Amino acid sequence: MGFQSYYAAVVISPGSLQMGPLLQQERIMNQEIEMLTVLKIAVFLTGGLFLVIGLAGLFTPEEFASGLGLSLASAEGAGSVRAMIGAHYLAMAAVSFFAMLRQQPVLLLPIAAIESVMVIARGVAVVNGEFGSATIVPTVIEVTAAAILFMAASRLPASH
């Protein structure tokens, strides 16, 4: 067994299992690649969720508003849901997908900031007694999306 083979092989000593330095380095690199892959998948899933929310807000604003515990007083209300929720989430989905496909994770930072401010607004709602069961799922989505997007923006490599 050559010198290189020895360090790449698993060395078994009495009572313990140790990896040679090259094998250990390869294992660490594989774990890093797996983590980055999971993070990319999480961003695509988050973008997909934004897409679904955006489409629901754009094409079924009355049902969407009702699901959030809102009632629309006029036809203008449906138009507002389409513009302020539907279009907003469709744009966030588009930027999420674009950032991943172009390998520019820094583009995820503004979306993460938007989601974080939404979470802060939920906190204000709690303090004012405006938080109910209809807002639990959206809040969980916002917290999770913000965490995923901030992590992806800071850890995923950018293409040059």
| Strand, helix or coil for residue 103 | coil
- Alpha-carbon distance of 114 to 122, in angstroms, equals 13
Question: pLDDT of 46-102, one tens digit each?
Answer: 999 999 999 999 999 999 999 888 889 998 999 999 999 999 999 999 999 999 999
In sequence order, the β-bridge partners of residue 16 are 13
Could you tell me if residue 2 is inside a domain?
A: no
Q: Given this model, what pLDDT does residue 19 score?
A: 60
Other CB atoms closer than 10 Å to residue 58's CB: what's the count? Answer: 18
Residue numbers of the domain that contains 46: 31-155
In a domain? residue 4: no
Residue 8 domain flag: no
Residue 101 has phi, psi (to 5 degrees) of -70, -35
Whether 111 is in a domain gets the answer yes
pLDDT at 104 over 90: yes
- Parallel, antiparallel, or unpaired for β 10-13 and 16-19? antiparallel
pLDDT for 111-153, tens place per residue? Answer: 999 999 999 999 999 999 999 888 899 999 999 999 999 999 9
**Helical (H) or strand (E) element with 18:** strand 16-19
The two structure tokens encoding residue 87: 């279009």
